[in-house]
Amino acid sequence: MKKALILSIILIVQNSGFAQSNDFLLNKSQQLIINENYLEADSILKEVINNVDSISSELTFLFGKNSFHLNKFKQSINWLNKYIELKGLLGIYSEETIKYLELANTKNIIDRREDTENVIIELFSYRYIECPNKFKLCPICKGSSVMITETNIGKIYKTCPFSDDKGFLTCDEYNDFLRGKLLPKKNTIK
């Protein structure tokens, strides 16, 4: 019985010391965030996460806030949402969490748009397709120089407004077509 009591006391003291250590690290990371030392705060927060069995609401808030400042917006959104799940709108950091959550969502949307624009620019604007003969078969009329439209009555034949009279596009026109910028030629009546 005496051994069990001593063992219990040792475990309580160790857990108390461990909790105080985590509180110290959380306070330190909070100060680092205030001082804009986000990378150092990130490493301390990760250390705390790796050494606890359950994550506190304060830790979720600090990790979400710090992730925002590291431009890790999806990660920030996840942690801040976790804080709201744990504390609702009545937590100590709820008001600040909502503000950071709105900012992170906005930045995430902007980043996604910019990524999409960058992909489009890379795919279409910077890559110029070289034509071996300086001409490329028109993909609209398929080289016939005539566009055929079927209706209920019959077929309507119309001169292709994009290709030359032989059904070809220049290399520049073809690249404009790939970018969606090919305009019909002004003189389409033949």
Q: Please give the model's pTM, rounded to 2 decimal places.
A: 0.51
Alpha carbon distance 71, 110 (integer Å): 12
Which one is predicted more confidently, 186 or 99? 99
CATH code given to domain 16-125: 1.25.40
> How do 155-159 and 146-150 pair as beta strands?
antiparallel
Instruction: Quote the pLDDT of residue 116.
Output: 67
Instruction: Quote the pLDDT of residue 12.
Output: 44
Which one is predicted more confidently, 66 or 182? 66
Instruction: Quote the pLDDT of residue 10.
Output: 45
The percentage of residues in the chain with a pLDDT greater than 70, rounded to a whole number, is: 76
Q: Is the pLDDT of residue 70 over 80?
A: yes
pLDDT band at 189; cut points 50, 70, 90: very low
Alpha carbon distance 46, 76 (integer Å): 14
- For 29-52, the pLDDT digits (tens) are 788 888 888 888 888 888 888 887
Which contacts (CB < 8 Å, 24+ apart) does range 86-93 have? 86/57, 86/60, 87/57, 91/57, 91/61, 92/58, 93/57, 93/58, 93/61
pLDDT band at 7; cut points 50, 70, 90: very low
Give me Rg for the CA atoms of the chain.
32
Alpha carbon distance 148, 155 (integer Å): 6
Q: 111, 68 in Cβ contact below 8 A?
A: no
Where do the domains of the chain lie?
A: 16-125, 135-179
Q: 160, 140 in Cβ contact below 8 A?
A: yes
- For 119-167, the pLDDT digits (tens) are 555 555 545 666 777 888 887 788 788 877 778 888 888 888 888 888 8
Cα angle value 22/26/27 (rounded, 5°): 120
Instruction: Quote the pLDDT of residue 97.
Output: 87
